[in-house]
Amino acid sequence: MDIKIYPDPVLLKNCVSVEKVDDNFISTVSIMVDTMRAAEGIGLAAPQVGILQRFFVCLDFDDENKEKTIVLINPEITKMEGRIESKEGCLSIPGFYEYVYRYEKIEIKAYDLTGKEVIYVPDGIQSVVFQHEFDHLDGILFPERMSQIKKDIFMKKINKEFK
């Protein structure tokens, strides 16, 4: 799979819910996981590979070997609290990193690959990766989570790099 790079318009679209988890979907997810790992990413959302559906894959930070992957389908953030600054990058904006604001803790409800409802209450890096990938499903890229001043400077830099 090809990772779409800013300013590809697919990155700014809203995604629709996943309707059914069939064999075809499961193999798509598996290729996305391989694509994320090949790019040395920690998270990858479906629109980043041109699929306008509400799911993403990311590393499981509870697994110290980083061998496990989490797949969240039709996620919803059901609780959020606190605020932290998180230094982020994005596979769709390669080479650029900046601090953004995120919730410190969230509760996120979703479905897994077996169709079972799952609820995570992550903190730290797992919480910010979930929030970053969740934003992609609404066409939101991480500069949207910067202060306006920082965002203006950052957008000038990336618009110069990716035109």
Active site amino acids: 133
Cα angle 57, 60, 27; round to 5: 35
Helix H or strand E encompassing 124: helix 124-137
Using CA atoms, how far apart are residues 158 and 137, in angstroms rounded to an integer?
21
Whichever of 108 and 117 has its CB closer to ligand QAP, that residue is 108
Residue 40 interaction partner, one of Co ion, ligand QAP, none, beta carbon < 5-8 Å per kind: ligand QAP
Q: How far apart are CA 4 and CA 92, in angstroms?
A: 6
Assigned token pair, 72: 């969240």
Residues 57-116, interacting with Co ion (CB under 5 A): 90
Q: Which of ligand QAP, Co ion, none is residue 128 near (CB under 5 to 8 Å by kind)?
A: ligand QAP
Near ligand QAP in 5-34, by CB under 6 A: none
| Count of other CB atoms within 10 angstroms of residue 55 | 26
Strands (E), 52-132: 55-59, 69-81, 84-88, 98-102, 105-111, 117-120
Pull the structure tokens for residue 143: 């500069």
Residues in contact with ligand QAP, total (CB under 6 A)? 15
Q: Is 44 in the site for Co ion (CB under 5 A)?
A: no
Residue 88 site contact among ligand QAP, Co ion, none (CB < 5 to 8 Å, cut-off depends on kind): ligand QAP
Nearer to ligand QAP, 19 or 40 (CB): 40
**Which one of 11, 29, 42, 72 is in contact with ligand QAP (CB under 6 A)?**
42
Contact residues for ligand QAP (CB under 6 A)?
39-43, 86, 88-91, 94-95, 128-129, 132
Contact residues for Co ion (CB under 5 A)?
90
